[in-house]
Structure 1
Amino acid sequence: MTLYTIVPEEIIFPHHHEKTANLIEMIYNGVHVMVEHDGGRTFRIDRIVSTNPEDYMNVHIQPGAVINVFDQLKS
């Protein structure tokens, strides 16, 4: 859908911006994902942003999965 308007996107889609305001883009295990910080040392995967179909089949990187990115930094 294409909207040609001078009205800001935040007014047309207010809930979209509230949800994405808390998301962080990152590369986790070589896969581009968007995560939400759960507090402490964990993140929850919100969505996979990849063009590789195999990334969507990885059971460890699925939306809703809780990951600890700090363990990855130690390696």
Structure 2
Amino acid sequence: MILYTPMSPAEIFPHDTNTLASRQFIVYQGRNMYVEQRGDGSYQLLQLLSTDPQDFLNDTFTPGTILSS
């Protein structure tokens, strides 16, 4: 089987199911994102899902950024 995906093998075949349970897709400031919920209730940006190239030039949406509600 061949998978054509931008996701890493660790995300497709996780070793720990608890890690995937804390990850979700959200809309933040009008942009779709793949995030991981942290213990304090904030979210860490894992991947920005956008078709607008300008979104990727915005430092607010850099992977690893902590998003607060």
Normalising by structure 1, what TM-score? 0.65
Match of 1:16 among 8, 11, 21: 11
What's the counterpart of residue 38 of structure 1?
Answer: 38
What's the counterpart of residue 49 of structure 1?
Answer: 49
SS of residue paired to 1:60: helix
Moved over 6 A (4+): none
**RMSD of aligned alpha carbons:** 2.1
Per residue, is there more helix in 1 or in 2?
1
Normalising by structure 2, what TM-score? 0.69
Distance 2:54 2:42 in 1: 24
> Which residue identity is paired with 1:32?
N
Superposed CA deviations along residues 20-66 of structure 1, whole A, max 9, x for unmatched, are 72421011011111100111231100010111111111111110000
Query: Which structure has the larger Rg?
Result: 1
Unaligned runs of 5+ in 2: 3-8
Distance 1:28 1:60 in 2: 11
Distance 2:11 2:29 in 1: 27
SS of residue paired to 1:39: coil
SS of residue paired to 1:16: helix
